[in-house]
Amino acid sequence: MKTLLFITTFTIGLTIAVFGQDQDKYYTKNGHIEFFSTTPVEDILATNDQVAALINTKTGEVSFVVLMRSFQFEKALMQEHFNEKFVESHKYPKSTFEGKILNWKPEELTKDKELKVEVQGDLTLHGVTRSITESGTIKLLPGNKIHATSEFIAKPEDYDIKIPSVVRDNIAKEIEVTVDVELEPYN
């Protein structure tokens, strides 16, 4: 666990160093990501509330770090299989996203106005990096916080995640991913 904490702290620290430090940076280490798989056999929901995220409102750059072992499942056996057999979190302890909001206009980020945005960047999962473009929302909240959301589809096969034939019918070919983060100014 200390190794995972070090990896996350190091990665976020490196990201902050690259982005620089000023009032345009917003950060959280308690963001929320969940994924949902539905098949005729069963539904699977996993949640993770230990997601680190950084948004630079001046440049539109975004960064996420997700510790794979932090996903929680309803059934302990699902969680064990997820970590040991599917995402192999002992080999690939984290997933990352580094990208930028397309056509970003920072002056449009005003209180109580939800902006629809497209974010493009590199998602790394299970040791595989793919360029993705997804839609989402971003909104400036009272108290100088930012709320950002996104919903998109991820395919295990795109990230070289092998699903054993014995459970193939239990896991959807397309997984619904929901991102919901509230960020505060980074000091």
Condensed to tens digits (0 to 9), the pLDDT of residues 18-74 reads 444 457 999 999 999 999 999 999 999 999 999 999 999 999 999 999 999 999 999
The pLDDT of residue 75: 93
The pLDDT of residue 20: 47
Q: DSSP state, 169?
A: G
15 pLDDT exceeds 70?
no
The pLDDT of residue 125: 97
Q: DSSP state, 1?
A: -
Task: Tell me phi and psi for residue 107, to 5 degrees.
Answer: -70, -15
Distance of alpha carbon 53 from alpha carbon 27, whole angstroms: 6
CATH class of 2-185: mainly beta
5 pLDDT exceeds 50?
no
What are the structural domain ranges in the chain? 2-185
The pLDDT of residue 115: 96
Residue carrying structure tokens 């902006």? 115
CB 42 within 8 A of CB 68: no
Condensed to tens digits (0 to 9), the pLDDT of residues 118-174 reads 999 999 999 999 999 999 999 999 989 999 999 999 999 999 999 988 888 999 999
Residue carrying structure tokens 């983060």? 181
CB 171 within 8 A of CB 182: no
The pLDDT of residue 22: 57
Type of residue at 50: Q
Burial of 103 (0-12, 13-18, 19+ CB in 10 A): exposed
